[in-house]
Amino acid sequence: MIPDSVRAAKLEQWVDSYGNSILRTCFLYLADRSLAEDAMQDTFVKAWYSMEQFSGRNESSDKTWIIRIAINTCMDYQRAPWFKHVDRSRTVEDLQIPVQDVSEEAIETTLAVMSLPPKLKQVVLLYYYHNMTMTEIADTLSINRLTVHRRLQKAYVSLRVESEGGEFR
């Protein structure tokens, strides 16, 4: 049994190290700031309750483990019946985040990633944003490594098409 003080310190360290990237990942998934904040907190609450279980297994890095929780949490949110009926905005204005002094290219890349189909978005975020290896992604998503590779290629083509179409460079 891990003492509460140790758990609290560990959680603090996780929030410091991965909080922002988890929050942004949730946002890219859910396209809603409040939902993303909820999902981020949900992720860390789940991590807190499962900390002991994780320490016992120690089969992957804590970052990979937390990302996996975050992805599952976002997928749970997306599975909610009402989520399907909400129009997910794709314009900068509707994202409700201040984007002053940000290049158009950066904004358009972000929007392009957000518009990818969920399965492709998953691998793109894990591979390019979280710098995970294909094996780690396969492990996180419980899919074949080859499938990861195929999805990455598909996403690459999709992003390239948008890029060449003048959406972003």
Partner 1 sequence: MKEPFRIKNHIDKTLTSLQVTPEMRNSLTRCIAQKTRPYSMRHVIPSIRHHKPVLVLTILLVLISVGALAWSFGPSIRTWFEQRLDNANVAPVDSFQETPSTPIASTQIGNISILVWEAMADEQTFLSNVEWIAKGNVKLVAYSGLKQDLPSPLDASVVYVSVSTWYGGASQEIFSISQGTENRVSILSEGWDYQATEEPMTFSCSIVYLENGQINTETNTVSAPVRKKQTLETAKLRAPLVFPITGYELTELHMLRTELRIYWGYTSSGKNQQLPYAIRNLQLRIVDSTGQVLPDKLPYHTMLPERLEAQIEDLDTGDIVESIPLIHQNNEYIAP
Q: Which two tokens stand for residue 124?
A: 């793109």
**Whole-angstrom Cα distance, residue 62 to residue 51?**
10
Give the contact letters, 12-51, x = binds to partner 1 (CB under 8 A), - = no: ---x---xx--xx--xx----xx-xxx-xxx-xx--xx--
Given 3, 56, 81, 166, the residue binding partner 1 (CB under 8 A) = 81
For every residue of 115-153, DSSP letters joined together read TS-HHHHHHHIIIIIS---HHHHHHHHT--HHHHHHHHH
As measured in angstroms, the least distance from the Cβ of 24 to partner 1 is 5
Residue 139 in the binding site for partner 1 (CB under 8 A): no
Is residue 33 a contact partner of residue 7, using CB atoms and an 8 Å limit?
A: no
C-alpha Rg value of the chain to the nearest Å: 17
As measured in angstroms, the least distance from the Cβ of 106 to partner 1 is 4
Which residue from 21, 27, 120 is spatially nearest to 66, judged by alpha carbons?
Answer: 21
Is residue 43 a contact partner of residue 66, using CB atoms and an 8 Å limit?
A: yes
Residue 160 in the binding site for partner 1 (CB under 8 A): yes
| From 55-63, 64-72, 138-146, 158-166, span contacting partner 1 (CB under 8 A) | 158-166
Residues near partner 1 (CB under 8 A) are: 11, 15, 19-20, 23-24, 27-28, 33-34, 36-38, 40-42, 44-45, 48-49, 81, 84, 87, 97-99, 102-103, 105-107, 109-110, 112-113, 124, 128-129, 131, 152, 156, 159-160, 163, 168
